[in-house]
Amino acid sequence: MNLSRPDNERTSKDAQYLQAATHDRIYPPGDLAIWVFILAELLVFAVFFSAYALTRANNAELFNTCQLTLDANAAFINTLALISSSYFVMRAVAAIREAKTQQCIQWLIAALAMGCVFLIIKSGEYVHHYQAGINLRTNLFYMFYLSLTFFHFMHVIMGMVILTAVTIKTRQGHYSAAEHTGVETGASYWHMVDIIWLILFPLVYIMR
Amino acid sequence: MQYQSQAVAKPYFIAAIGLFVGQILFGLIMGLQYVIGDFLFPEIPFNVARMVHTNLLIVWILFGFMGAAYYLVPEESECELYSPKLALLMFWVFLIAGALTILGYLLVPYATLAEMTGNSLLPTMGREFLEQPTITKIGIVIVALAFLFNLGMTMLKGRKTVITLVLFIGLVGLAVFFLFSFFNPDNLVRDKLYWWFVVHLWVEGVWELILGAILAFVLIKTTGVDREVIEKWLYVIIALALITGIIGTGHHFFWIGLPGYWQWWGSIFSALEPLPFFMMTVFAFNMVNQRRRNHPNQAAVLWALGTSVMAFLGAGVWGFMHTLAPVNYYTHGTQITAAHGHMAFYGAYAMIVLTIISYAMPMLRGRKAANSGKSQILEMWSFWLMTVSMVFITLFLTAAGVLQVYTQRYTDNPQPFMAVQERLELFYWMREAAGVVFLIGLIIYIISFFAGSNEPEQA
């Protein structure tokens, strides 16, 4: 948080240019506001995960039985998709830091494509459950499974909207080696979406 | 005042303050009826006093929001209001409809009012907070449509800012969700569901956007901090407010007959509703810390900071206290709810309206930026008197609520409702005393508009 007093005339943007020029990066990368948002999001998921853990402790047998009906292979492919998309986003940030706009756009599109893979596979799982007559009211396990994964699903969509906006702005030439806070901001959010899945996947699909 | 048409905000603000006084007077009458059951009976029975108290609250806040929008949108859009005449016409329509409705509540029995206003043609009356006759509800919709049209046309021809956009989305949401008050299905579960769509998605959804936009506007004006920085915070705050508020409404759903998963969804998301309010507090104090100038209207800055703190306490902390399903199982509809309702409404919505009035009124009354020092000191006194007495009202009601929950619901030998009410008498008396202090604060607030009006502005 910039708590500088009013007499400090240097704006935060000037400071960013200066720091970029001296290769001394600002941490955390991206806009501070997105980090506040990320922390809030992590808190929401943390509460959800805790509720899951507590309920599972009291219904271990039900959770273990129902867990076997989930498609862990599909989830594993999705895990690979998200991890590689995070890698692509990281490469996009590295590219824009070296002023390679075209490469940055290509990496972002690759990341978006991986996001699409995730959405398609996850939708396939939902269709399967729907056809089996499973819904939020089936039992506590499915309530948590559907709620958690769907909430995350919405975050993937949100992340893709952000990455699309960043891609468009990159194409329009809004970012440079000196000023690319927007790319870092989008990347930070996307990494969060990825990290949550990395907890969600073992928690719901694997751990017994 | 930068644009002539901003002047239409003035009658809205004056009406808001006038109705606010009425609300507090009826609050005091009701407060007394808690301990002297037949006070003013049969002229003003408790149910009527309660209806007037809550309806006046909603109407004066709406007047405040409209005034705020008429003041803020031309300045943000950098152009005159599309139609000041329409705004004034709607002011009178809304005021007369509101006054007639309140008179209707007071002068004829509610059932007669329903009959007189043709409720049987399209029955919408009889639900808490939505007691207005159908014809009044239709009037509200017409006023809202004209209001949104006027603002929308102004925004279209002028500069588009994040603040006006957020404000407009909030106001559109307010109008859209009010439409659910026209649904009155036979199925009680659906009836209650739609009722919550109005009651809850207003105060814990779209109204938060209006609150955020007004707060951001006043902070930009009084601190001189970059618009970019303030807008960014506004985005984050409203995103969180919407996510937690809309799904958080689910904390009511299980109890009215919806599926069990709402207990989880509602508890989890509503437990996070304090987050956007907390961020609003951090945001407001941070912006004032980073200020680039000391604005002469220090009273407005005090109101803005006060809003953020009291909204967090009232809506955030007192809401969280009883939102989790295992707690709410015992506390639903007790004095704990009343405590939360009082501090949340005052802290979030009454105070934000008083903030924008405090900021805008000096300009609307022909001053350059601020009232005289004398007037501001009185206004600050009224701020502290009203705010501190509201804290006490909340604490007394909370104490009453805890005792009520225990003796009426939690203990092994639950007592009947009225027996418990008698045991709460002491707390109700103390609440009434705090209410009187609140009224004194409000009177001083009104005096502050007239005191020192011949003296020069605070530098």
- Check residue B125 and give left, alpha or beta (phi > 0: left; psi -120 to 50: alpha): beta
All residues at 6 or more sequence positions from B246 whose CB lies less than 8 Å from its CB, including other chains: B201, B205
Supply the pTM of this predicted model.
0.91
**Element at A49 (helix H, strand E):** helix A32-58
Per the model's pLDDT, the better-predicted residue between A26 and A75 turns out to be A75
Do B211 and B349 form a contact (C-beta atoms < 8 A)?
Answer: yes
Point out the residue among B233, B244, B292 whose CB comes nearest to the CB of A33: B233
State the average pLDDT over residues A97-124: 97
From B263, which residue of chain A is nearest by alpha-carbon distance?
A: A143
**pLDDT value of residue A12:** 55
**pLDDT above 80: residue A180:** yes
The string of pLDDT tens digits covering residues B114-155 is 999 999 999 999 999 999 999 999 999 999 999 999 999 999
Per the model's pLDDT, the better-predicted residue between B213 and A6 turns out to be B213
**pLDDT value of residue A16:** 52
Do B139 and B97 form a contact (C-beta atoms < 8 A)?
Answer: yes
All residues at 6 or more sequence positions from B108 whose CB lies less than 8 Å from its CB, including other chains: B116
d(C-alpha B162, C-alpha A40), whole Å: 22
Residues belonging to chain B with any Cβ–Cβ distance to chain A shorter than 8 Å = 224, 226, 229, 232-233, 235-236, 239-240, 243-244, 259-261, 264-265, 267-269, 271-272, 275, 279, 286, 289-293
Nearest alpha-carbon partner for B128 in B107, B103, B110: B110
All residues at 6 or more sequence positions from B94 whose CB lies less than 8 Å from its CB, including other chains: B62, B63, B66, B139, B140, B143
**pLDDT value of residue A5:** 39
d(C-alpha B169, C-alpha B155), whole Å: 12
Point out the residue among B224, B239, B292 whose CB comes nearest to the CB of A37: B239
pLDDT band for A31, please (50, 70, 90 cuts).
Answer: confident
Domain ranges across chain A: 71-208
- Is B286 close to A37, i.e. CB distance below 8 A? no
Is the peptide bond between A28 and the residue preceding it cis, with omega within 30 degrees of 0?
yes
- Chain B residues whose CB is inside 8 A of the A136 CB are 259, 261
pLDDT tens across the length of chain B (459 residues): 899 999 999 999 999 999 999 999 999 999 999 999 999 999 999 999 999 999 999 999 999 999 999 999 999 999 999 999 999 999 999 999 999 999 999 999 999 999 999 999 999 999 999 999 999 999 999 999 999 999 999 999 999 999 999 999 999 999 999 999 999 999 999 999 999 999 999 999 999 999 999 999 999 999 999 999 999 999 999 999 999 999 999 999 999 999 999 999 999 999 999 999 999 999 999 999 999 989 999 999 999 999 999 999 999 999 999 999 999 999 999 999 999 999 999 999 999 999 999 999 999 999 999 999 999 999 999 999 999 999 999 999 999 999 999 999 999 999 999 999 999 999 999 999 999 999 999 999 999 999 988 888 877
Token pair 């300045």 is found at: B75
State the average pLDDT over residues A155-160: 97
CATH number, span A71-208: 1.20.120.80
Domain ranges across chain B: 1-160
- Chain A residues whose CB is inside 8 A of the B275 CB are 40, 43
Residue B281 Cα, gap to closest chain A Cα (Å): 14
**pLDDT above 80: residue A22:** no
- Is B236 close to A33, i.e. CB distance below 8 A? yes
pLDDT band for A13, please (50, 70, 90 cuts).
Answer: low
Nearest alpha-carbon partner for B300 in B343, B230, B364, B239: B364
Residue A40 Cα, gap to closest chain B Cα (Å): 7
pLDDT band for A33, please (50, 70, 90 cuts).
Answer: confident
CA B80 to chain centre: 28
**pLDDT value of residue B36:** 96
Distance (Å) of CA B195 to CA B114, B137, B201:
19, 14, 10
d(C-alpha A11, C-alpha A30), whole Å: 16
d(C-alpha B266, C-alpha B272), whole Å: 10
